[in-house]
Structure 1
């Protein structure tokens, strides 16, 4: 799966990591629902760090279609609400 982090670039991420990332995504959704700004910031930072850790960066000149687009680390609660799908930021898996 190709994942784009807005403002950073793309990484290739194995589908096998989706379950782990979905745990953070579920936390992020709960924090959004409760308006928990500090928790939201902490979890978004952890989610993006985990994607960077588990993914393999693609070259800057690569033009692969992104299957998943994640917000930038400095995104606001409102920015992320605009990106949410029915499953959150990350789909529930293959």
Structure 2
């Protein structure tokens, strides 16, 4: 799966890591629902860090379409809420059963 972190680039992330990314996405959603800025910031940084850790960066000149787009680390709660309105349930899709 190709994930784009806004302002940073694309990462190829294997499906074996999607469960962990979904867990982190749930933590981010919980923080958004509570409106807790500190919890939100921590969850967003952890999610983006996991994408960087598990993913392989694609070359800057790569023209691969992104399967999903994640906010940058400086995104606000309002920014991420707006992205979620467009995306649906969370930023990271679940693994099909």
Normalized against structure 2, the TM-score is what? 0.94
Q: Distance in 2 between matches of 1:82 and 1:64?
A: 24
Q: Distance in 1 between matches of 2:76 and 2:39?
A: 12
State whether structure 2 residue 93 is matched by structure 1 residue 82. Answer: no
Q: CA RMSD in A?
A: 0.7
Deviation of 1:55 after TM superposition, in Å, equals 0.2
Q: Distance in 2 between matches of 1:7 and 1:73?
A: 9
Q: Distance in 1 between matches of 2:82 and 2:59?
A: 28
Count of aligned pairs between the two proteins? 94
Which runs of no fewer than 5 residues in structure 2 stay unpaired? Answer: none
Deviation of 1:86 after TM superposition, in Å, equals 2.4
Q: What SS is found at the alignment partner of 1:4? A: strand
Which runs of no fewer than 5 residues in structure 1 stay unpaired? Answer: none
State whether structure 2 residue 22 is matched by structure 1 residue 40. Answer: no
Q: 1:1-94 alignment to 2 at 5 Å?
A: 1-84=1-84, 85-94=87-96
Normalized against structure 1, the TM-score is what? 0.97
Cα offsets for 1:27-80 (capped at 9, x unmatched): 110110110100000010000000000000000000100001000000000000
Deviating above 2 A after TM superposition, structure 1's stretches of 4 or more consecutive aligned residues are none
